[in-house]
Amino acid sequence: MNQTIYVSKTRSGADIFQSLAAALSSLDNSSQELVTIEIAPGIYHEKIEIHRDNLTIVGTGTAPEEVVLTYADFAFDDMPDGSKRGTFRSYSVFLDASNVTMKNLTIENASGDENTHGQAIALYAEGDHLYFENLRLIGRQDTLFTGPLPPKELQPNGFIGPKQFAPRINGRQHYKDCYICGNIDFIFGSATAYFEHCRIESLSHKSEQDAIQGYVSAPSTPEGQEYGYVFYNCKFLSTECAASTCYLARPWRDFAKAVFIRCEVGPHIHTEGFHDWNKPNAREHAFFAAYGNYRPSDSSSEPEIFFPKAPFAKKLSTDESAKYKKDEVLS
């Protein structure tokens, strides 16, 4: 049986709620019944927590821009006890469940400039069998966190948040036909995550045009985990960042893994492709690899092959690239 409930600001009824938070509160989180929540077009200003397995959340607009989940918490915010909110309490949507699908909506952290507000997560996603399709993830620094957290903090209380003391359990996440924007490490975390046909836009971070503007991803893959991030047939673009001012990836932890296959890489991406974050151990242990990527071209010319020039970049053979097919990574 698949129960369906509805969220709408303009309708009323027994199975219709005015907010997504109210709809989620109505569910029995211990039940294994399949539930679908359909959200009508509108802007929903609410901080969302999802703890229900076997759940589908779908925006019913004609495009993801029509259903917007937005909030504006940020890391530099002062908490009542005098501490700072920190990165991992700044989320607009916190998903801590498995077998969850989200489609056709926007998740936004609208807090603003990272230089004055710090890190600000739009979607904090942790769990197994998570599927995201046709989402817009809008933020600046740390837009998407793919939990779990790394095993240890580098600074005391650096992981303050809902999963600070939880077991670190890897889960599989699949992002298809999504749009994700940000500037500094705006896709980061330890999960096995497969990004398919996504548009990933780098926003500027500094006013100096030729300064380094950001890093698309910062994986923290644990030692011994087979897969980290895989980007397949994605498009990396920017209208704000000058040539060679952004990197595809840098290692949040030393055993980080990120693989880029058949992606279109805009001129804003540095010729090195990958940055080592000034971590000598990461140069030895991280796995940053590429296969079949290219620079965009007009219709009159052939695409230029792009391979990162970082000395620690791994060039995959055709046979090696087969290991990173979707079914292999998410099986």
Q: Which secondary structure element, helix H or strand E, spans residue 36, and what is its range?
A: strand 34-39
Closest CA to 135 of 196, 87, 185: 196
> Residue 1: its pLDDT value, please?
65
The partner residues of 70 in beta bridges, in order of sequence, read 45, 108
> Residue 139: its pLDDT value, please?
98
Question: What confidence category does residue 240 fall into, taking pLDDT thresholds of 50, 70 and 90?
Answer: very high
What are the residues whose beta carbons fall under 8 Å from the beta carbon of 279, sequence distance 6 or more? 251, 254
- Across the chain, mean pLDDT equals 96
Which whole number is the average pLDDT over 238-250?
Answer: 98
**Is 26-330 a domain of CATH 3.40.50.1440?**
no
What is d(CA 166, CA 47) in angstroms, rounded to the nearest whole number? 21
pLDDT tens-place string over residues 57-72? 999 999 999 999 999 9
* CA dihedral for 172, 142, 199, 308, sign (positive or negative): negative
> Residue 326: its pLDDT value, please?
97
Which whole number is the average pLDDT over 182-196?
Answer: 98
Which whole number is the average pLDDT over 288-292?
Answer: 98
By CB atoms closer than 10 A (0-12, 13-18, 19+), residue 36 is: middle
Question: What confidence category does residue 2 fall into, taking pLDDT thresholds of 50, 70 and 90?
Answer: confident
Question: What confidence category does residue 15 fall into, taking pLDDT thresholds of 50, 70 and 90?
Answer: confident
> Residue 14: its pLDDT value, please?
82
Exposure b/e, 156-192, CB count within 10 A at least 16 = b: eeebbbbbeeeeeebbbbbbbebbbbbbbbbbbbbbb
- Is the pLDDT confidence value at 298 over 80? no
Total count of residues recorded for the chain: 331
- Is the pLDDT confidence value at 301 over 80? no
* CA dihedral for 234, 240, 246, 250, sign (positive or negative): negative
- Integer-rounded Cα Rg, in Å, for the chain is 20
What is d(CA 269, CA 250) in angstroms, rounded to the nearest whole number? 13
Question: What confidence category does residue 153 fall into, taking pLDDT thresholds of 50, 70 and 90?
Answer: very high
> Residue 300: its pLDDT value, please?
67
> Residue 149: its pLDDT value, please?
98
Dihedral of CA atoms 193, 130, 165, 288 in degrees, nearest 10, equals 0
Please report, as a single letter, which amino acid is at residue 56: T
- Could you state, in order of their start, the residue ranges of all structural domains in the chain? 26-330
What is d(CA 262, CA 225) in angstroms, rounded to the nearest whole number? 23
What are the residues whose beta carbons fall under 8 Å from the beta carbon of 263, sequence distance 6 or more? 231, 232, 233, 234, 235, 236, 293, 294
Which whole number is the average pLDDT over 118-130?
Answer: 98
DSSP helix/strand/coil, 315: strand
What is d(CA 164, CA 269) in angstroms, rounded to the nearest whole number? 33
> Residue 32: its pLDDT value, please?
93
Exposure b/e, 74-107, CB count within 10 A at least 16 = b: bbbbeeeeeebbbbbbbbbbbbbbbbbbbbbbbb
Which whole number is the average pLDDT over 105-128?
Answer: 97
Query: Could you tell me what percentage of the chain is helix, strand and coil, using 3-state DSSP and rounding each to the nearest 5?
Result: 10, 35, 55
> Residue 12: its pLDDT value, please?
84
pLDDT tens-place string over residues 88-97? 999 999 999 9
> Residue 72: its pLDDT value, please?
98
